[in-house]
């Protein structure tokens, strides 16, 4: 079985499991406890925070360990926006229609409960946002801009530095959902010019339930969880030391030779895309042909059922998906594909292949399986 759904989750790396195991067994201390057992846990947590902060180009104190991408996005969006509303009566937030559900639902919460006005920036047929549209959307009372670095369904990569420059010119903080970008793209906040960034461990070879949010210290952040004041008061609750160590270990590994590995996988991806397009007349690539994640190849196959193609592929030993795992089982067409102008009926034929970072071999056999699977479910003339 060949697993090509790495955007949904990845297997835990052996080195990550080895690194975290002591903090699940012998080194079980609470990092807030003032004795030797707790102090050892606190030291491990501090070391992990240092690894993550360096990878994200932030200070140690900017990093908040979370349970994953959804919590990180919720804390960034609600926390920054509510703090801005409380401090300066800001009541406007800017996003796009192709964001992950954790972003869109957080924004809708702010709109519904706190009265925020929401602007969704238009995207082109590839899913790209024009920085000029962001410039026109920003107001004096804008609390936050929140945009995905790379789309989880179609793989399109935004020009984050250009968008951040616009936000900075208006003195508006910008948050980037980098859950899919981590391990593939530069995450340095200094290089990107951003104020907050979310990542999730299970996309990098750490366990599910691990993640981090980094927010620049100058950006006010209202906590969502209240209690003992851990994580500098921004996320109360006893920290998962094992989870933090796992995330740091996975992130360090993902950053090692990242550019070379990304280039190798991108070349294999491009060859796979070309073969699928050559073999399957109905195939259409979704997302930007160049500005896309190295490991993402997503298609529609008009006249088929995406779910039926997936079942045929699995029968042939290939595991992939129709898009976001969070929306799996929904009868609705992908909101991302509809936003970029795909006919809703065609959007329901989508199939997404997301490749592992250690991919070494061409995917010719997978492309052949795609052609056979589409042919098997296509209506007979």
Is the Cα dihedral 359, 361, 364, 366 positive or negative?
negative
Residues 361 and 282 in one domain: yes
Flag whether 213 is in a domain. Answer: yes
Q: Are 201 and 246 in contact (CB under 8 A)?
A: yes
Residue 379 has a pLDDT of 79
Residue 332 has a pLDDT of 84
Residues 48 and 194 in one domain: yes
Strand 296-301 and strand 283-285: the pairing is: antiparallel
* CA-wise closest residue to 179 among 247, 253, 108: 247
As for how many domains the chain has, the answer is 2
Flag whether 1 is in a domain. Answer: no
Q: What percent of the chain has pLDDT over 90?
A: 96
Residues 215 and 347 in one domain: no
Map 308-319 to HEC letters: HHHHHHHHCCEE
For residue 12, pLDDT beyond 80: yes
Residues 308 and 287 in one domain: yes
Final residue belonging to a domain, choices 228, 255, 282:
255
Residues 44 and 105 in one domain: yes
Residues 247 and 372 in one domain: no
Residues 233 and 277 in one domain: no
Measured distance CA(266)–CA(259) in Å, rounded: 10
List 2, 224, 271, 326, catalytic entry: 326
Flag whether 239 is in a domain. Answer: yes
pLDDT per residue over 193-204, tens digit each? 999 999 999 999
Residues 151 and 279 in one domain: no
Final residue belonging to a domain, choices 255, 271, 292:
255
Final residue belonging to a domain, choices 255, 271, 305:
255
Residues 303 and 277 in one domain: yes
- Please list, in sequence order, all residues whose beta carbon lies within 8 angstroms of the beta carbon of residue 310, skipping any fewer than 6 positions away: 320, 321, 322, 351
Residues 209 and 282 in one domain: no
Q: Are 366 and 318 in contact (CB under 8 A)?
A: yes
Strand 142-148 and strand 92-95: the pairing is: parallel
pLDDT per residue over 63-72, tens digit each? 999 999 999 9
Measured distance CA(133)–CA(129) in Å, rounded: 7
Flag whether 140 is in a domain. Answer: yes
For residue 9, pLDDT beyond 70: yes
Residue 306 domain boundaries: 258-377
Residues 236 and 122 in one domain: yes
Residues 44 and 76 in one domain: yes
pLDDT per residue over 268-319, tens digit each? 999 999 999 999 999 999 999 999 999 999 999 999 999 999 999 999 999 9
Flag whether 109 is in a domain. Answer: yes
Flag whether 5 is in a domain. Answer: no
Count of other CB atoms within 10 angstroms of residue 142: 22
Asked if 300 is an active-site residue, the reply is: no
Q: What percent of the chain has pLDDT over 70?
A: 97
**Residue 115 belongs to a domain with what CATH number?**
3.40.640.10
pLDDT per residue over 191-249, tens digit each? 999 999 999 999 999 999 999 999 999 999 999 999 999 999 999 999 999 999 999 99
Flag whether 7 is in a domain. Answer: no
């Amino acid at each position: 079985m060949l697993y090509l759904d790495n955007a949904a989750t990845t297997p835990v790396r052996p080195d990550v499991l080895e690194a975290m195991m002591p903090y699940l067994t012998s080194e079980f201390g609470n990092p807030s406890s003032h004795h030797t057992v707790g102090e050892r846990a606190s030291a491990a947590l501090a070391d992990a925070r240092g690894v993550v902060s360096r990878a994200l180009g932030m200070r140690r104190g900017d990093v908040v360990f979370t349970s994953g991408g959804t919590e990180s996005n919720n804390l960034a969006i609600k926390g920054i926006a509510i703090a801005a509303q409380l401090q300066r009566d800001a009541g406007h937030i800017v996003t796009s229609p192709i964001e992950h559900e954790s972003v869109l639902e957080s924004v809708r919460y702010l709109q519904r409960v706190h009265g925020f006005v929401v602007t969704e920036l238009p995207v082109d047929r590839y899913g790209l946002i024009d920085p000029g549209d962001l410039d026109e959307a920003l107001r004096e009372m804008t609390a936050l801009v929140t945009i995905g670095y790379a789309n989880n369904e179609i793989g399109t990569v935004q020009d984050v530095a250009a968008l951040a420059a616009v936000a900075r010119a208006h003195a508006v903080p910008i948050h980037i959902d980098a859950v899919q970008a981590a391990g593939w793209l530069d995450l340095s906040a200094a290089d990107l010019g951003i104020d907050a960034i979310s990542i999730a461990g299970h996309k990098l070879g750490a366990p599910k339930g691990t993640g981090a949010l980094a927010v620049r210290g100058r950006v006010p952040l209202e906590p969502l969880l209240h209690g003992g004041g851990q994580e500098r008061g921004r996320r109360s609750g006893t920290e998962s030391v094992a989870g933090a160590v796992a995330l740091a270990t996975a992130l360090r590994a993902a950053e090692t030779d990242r550019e070379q590995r990304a280039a190798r996988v991108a070349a294999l991806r491009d060859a796979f895309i070309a073969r699928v397009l050559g073999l399957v007349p109905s195939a259409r690539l979704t997302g930007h042909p160049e500005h896309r994640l190295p490991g993402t190849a997503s298609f529609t196959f008009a006249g088929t059922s995406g779910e039926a193609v997936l079942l045929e592929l699995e029968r042939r030993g290939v595991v992939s998906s129709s898009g976001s795992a969070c929306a799996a089982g929904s009868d609705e067409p992908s909101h991302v594909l509809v936003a970029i102008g795909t006919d809703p009926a065609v959007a329901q034929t989508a199939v997404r292949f997301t490749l592992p970072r250690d991919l070494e071999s061409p995917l010719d056999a997978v492309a052949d399986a795609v052609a056979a699977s589409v042919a098997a479910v296509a209506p007979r003339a």
